[in-house]
Chains A and B, each alone.
Chain A
Amino acid sequence: MYAPGVTSSPSGGEPKVLDTAESIIIDGANGVTPAPRHAFPDAGVSLGLAVLVVVATLALRRRPFTTWALPVLLLLAAVPGLVHVVALRADAPLERPVLAAKVDQTLDAMQHAVPWPRPVHVAREEDDVLYPFVRYAVPSRSDSAPGVIELEVAGEHLPAKCRVEAPSGRVFCGDAP
Chain B
Amino acid sequence: MTGRIGMTRMRVMMAVAGLLLAAGSIWAMEPLQQKDDLFAGADKFSQGAKSSTEVNLDKNMLGLMGKFGDEGEDKSGSELAKRMDFVIVRSYEYAEEGRYNIADVEQFRKRLEDGGWSHVVKERGERENTDVCVKLGPNGEFSELVVISAEPKELTFVHLKGHMSAEDLMKVSTHYGVREGTQKAKDKEKDKEKMK
B is a partner of A? no
